[in-house]
Amino acid sequence: MKIGKAGAKFLGSGSSKKHVIIGRDTRPSGDFISNAIISGLLSQGVDVFNSGIMTTPGVALLIKLLGADGGIVISASHNPVEDNGIKFFAKNGTKLTDKQERSIENYVLEHAGESAVETAAENDLPKVSSLVGRCINIDNPYVLYIDYLSHKFTTDLSGLKVAIDCANGAAGTLAPMVFNHFGADVKAFNCDSSGININKDCGATHPEFISAKTVETSSDIGFAFDGDADRLIACDSRGRIIDGDIIIGFCAIDMARRGVLKNNCVVTTVMANMGFDKALSSKGIAIHKTGVGDRYVLEKMVETGCVLGGEQSGHIIFMDISPTGDGIISALEFLNVLITNNYDIDDIYSVIPKFPQVLKNIKVKDKEKILSSSKIQSVIERVTAGLGSSGRLLVRPSGTEPLIRVMAEAETRATAESSVQIVIDAISSED
């Protein structure tokens, strides 16, 4: 409830009467968390428009469509069902900056030990307004979303067999509706709205599932979303995985050819494959790199004027259509390029040839301690030197889990595998 009150203070600064959109994914814990936050918002006179189960990018879009002052999503994205989180969005539908989120966190933590019934005289949380807010359920939020897409995409998907994996998350109802609306023959999997199996062995973090189902159902293409549908991983009819690098690169080259890639640049992260860099550079497309995280991608896009950016993991932002990464929109954009140009999906592998890449995670007790270890740093330097200009090594902490991620690229998979394993073994012995 205090988080809701804090949100009332920081969202929509300057508005005399605030309106906030709230939504959640399918996790069982999302119901009581969202109700508590709604109570906090209402107590401060904020009107809440509740979209119920809705994708994270769907909420971001509703903020713009309904002219709200901000939004809140209850979701832990690709994480397991036991986790949950709270995401804040600004009036334009973009995520808050790190600084803005820290302000909310600090505000709540300052009062963490105080009772919710303490008076405002005992703390500086706003008093309960005499004009409390109203909670209004949004009628047919999915229809609003699909209507918006109908004005942005005209591609007819009739005759196309599409397999989709909704990760038992927020896209479970919405994604099949969207693809059916555009005429596709849809085979949908993992659409359980109970949320108890959200992301479990499915979705964008487990593309092997959609790969197998695409082949099994003789579909032309497969798409996998994560729990809140801000990520997209695809596969072709043979089950070969198409990650964010390939989708971004393929769309960027097409947009540049059509003259709609503003400033002829894209934004991606340090995780982007070396093959991606070479393919786009050969077409004269500038690449701006950021740290891992779609928030940082968006900030760099705004800074550089890029209209396309994203991550290998499947967060992809088409700025002219959505203010945040949207797996469903990314799928439609990708299909639009394929269909309007009459491309065979196999073409993309020659357009964006990739270096073998190996990524492994290792669970540790203290990420910072491990990464600051002189022994680990020495191992990283040695492996990096061994790869030379024909490969690269990236070792970084997970932003959301007690993991260190070790990634290597090389001319052969065996070299990448051995490079990663050397670092993993060193971390294991140090932890």
pLDDT tens across 321-344, in order? Answer: 998 999 999 999 999 999 999 888
Q: Does the pLDDT value for residue 416 go beyond 50? A: yes
Q: What pLDDT band is residue 120 in, cutting at 50, 70 and 90? A: very low
Q: Tell which wins on pLDDT, 96 or 162.
A: 162
Sheet holding 161-165, edge to edge: 185-189, 161-165, 221-225, 232-236, 241-242
| Contact status, residue 3 vs residue 86, Cβ threshold 8 Å | yes
| pLDDT at 31 (0 to 100) | 92
Q: Does the pLDDT value for residue 130 go beyond 70? A: no
Q: What is the pLDDT of residues 292-310, one digit of tens each?
A: 888 899 999 999 999 999 9
Q: Does the pLDDT value for residue 426 go beyond 70? A: yes
Q: Does the pLDDT value for residue 272 go beyond 90? A: yes
Q: Partners of 268 in the beta sheet?
A: 289
Q: What is the pLDDT of residues 160-173, one digit of tens each?
A: 999 999 999 999 99
**72 φ/ψ angles, rounded to the nearest 5 degrees:** -135, 135
Q: Do domains 2-139 and 357-430 have the same CATH topology?
A: no
State the Cα–Cα distance between residues 190 and 201, nearest whole angstrom: 10
State the Cα–Cα distance between residues 59 and 32, nearest whole angstrom: 18
Catalytic residue numbers?
Answer: 77
- CATH H-level, domain 357-430: superfamily: Alpha-D-phosphohexomutase, C-terminal domain (3.30.310.50)
The mean pLDDT of 346-360, rounded to a whole number, is: 88
Q: Tell which wins on pLDDT, 125 or 399.
A: 399
| pLDDT at 121 (0 to 100) | 45
Encoded amino acid at 172, one letter? G
| Contact status, residue 88 vs residue 40, Cβ threshold 8 Å | no
Angle, CA of 16, 22 and 26, to the nearest 5°: 175
Give the pair of three-digit tokens for residue 97. 């900056």
Q: What is the pLDDT of residues 59-89, one digit of tens each?
A: 999 999 999 999 999 999 998 899 999 999 9
Q: What stretches of 326-431 show up as alpha helix (H) in DSSP?
A: 327-340, 347-351, 367-372, 374-387, 413-430
Which CATH number is correct for 2-139, 3.50.50.60, 3.40.120.10, 2.40.100.10, 3.40.50.11030? 3.40.120.10
Average pLDDT, the chain: 92
| Contact status, residue 297 vs residue 315, Cβ threshold 8 Å | yes
Q: Which residues contact 335 (CB under 8 A, 6 or more apart)?
A: 155, 157, 160, 221
SS3 label, residue 106: helix
Is the alpha carbon torsion for 255, 321, 164, 354 positive or negative?
positive
Looking at domain 244-351, its CATH class is alpha beta
| CATH code for the domain defined by 142-241 | 3.40.120.10
| pLDDT at 124 (0 to 100) | 53
Q: What is the pLDDT of residues 359-397, one digit of tens each?
A: 999 999 999 999 999 999 999 999 999 999 889 999 999
The mean pLDDT of 112-126, rounded to a whole number, is: 51
| pLDDT at 15 (0 to 100) | 66
| pLDDT at 360 (0 to 100) | 96
The mean pLDDT of 276-304, rounded to a whole number, is: 95
Q: What is the largest CA-CA distance in the chain?
A: 68
Domain boundaries along the sequence of the chain: 2-139, 142-241, 244-351, 357-430
The mean pLDDT of 103-125, rounded to a whole number, is: 63
> Could you give the percent of the chain with pLDDT greater than 90?
78
Which strand (E) or helix (H) includes residue 214? helix 207-216
Q: Does the pLDDT value for residue 115 go beyond 80? A: no
